[in-house]
Structure 1
């Protein structure tokens, strides 16, 4: 492998200013854990499909199951996980359970993720 293609330093060279800035901006451990958990939850294709469907507006569980072509039990399980992570919220209207995105931050996460993966210039 050519030296220019290696992804590690060829010699040890410490940059104190960069280290100091990184340490000063370091997140608290509990914040890192919470963020990691949120990304784990977003790492499931079914949950992404549900969230994307909900970007179009509030839907009942029956509508979500039909839109995704899944059974209600599987969708309900994923919705419970999303609700526990505060990514979706629900309300009951009689016998109907309606779901929507918890807030605009969820849409922002989805949009930023889509924008990031759509970059054609990966240089």
Structure 2
């Protein structure tokens, strides 16, 4: 069930012309503030997280964490074909996780921005922590 919250309960700093926000009421009586992120934003986040969900793509992201690397070196480091690396790089580009730069016959890749580097760092740190406590 949802109800409308008066404008004076908006988050501090929100625009005064913003519509009233909706609050979902959970069966336990707790309030869950809304609204949810825009569907387009959710789709982009899902695509980005899929980039992290494949072992080869995650290894590529790790190799690019601190430096720009050419495709040839990625092939050597991963031990897979150039076609295989290119396929994974295409998926990472489509998810806006990496950026390529051509220099002569070589293409060099790097992480798209600091947000991606932070996502990778957080994911690796969280994975290294082990199981969450109850």
TM-score range, shorter chain: 0.7 to 0.9
Q: What residue is the counterpart of 2:108 in the other structure?
A: 98
Task: Show structure 1 runs of 4+ deviating over 4 A.
Answer: none
TM norm structure 2: 0.73
Q: CA deviation at 1:43?
A: 0.6
Q: Distance in 1 between matches of 2:130 and 2:95?
A: 32
Out of 44, 47, 50, the position equivalent to 1:37 is 47
Q: CA deviation at 1:16?
A: 4.1
Aligned-residue CA RMSD (Å): 1.7
Alignment of 1:6-85 (within 5 A): 14-19=27-32, 21=33, 24-85=34-95
Between 1 and 2, higher relative CO (CA 8 Å, sep ≥ 6) is seen in: 1
- Would you tell me which structure has more helix in proportion to its own residues? 1
TM norm structure 1: 0.79
Q: CA deviation at 1:119?
A: 2.1
Aligned with 2:89: secondary structure? helix
- Residue ranges of structure 1 left out of the alignment (5+ in a row): 1-12
Q: What residue is the counterpart of 1:7 in the other structure?
A: none
- Residue ranges of structure 2 left out of the alignment (5+ in a row): 1-25
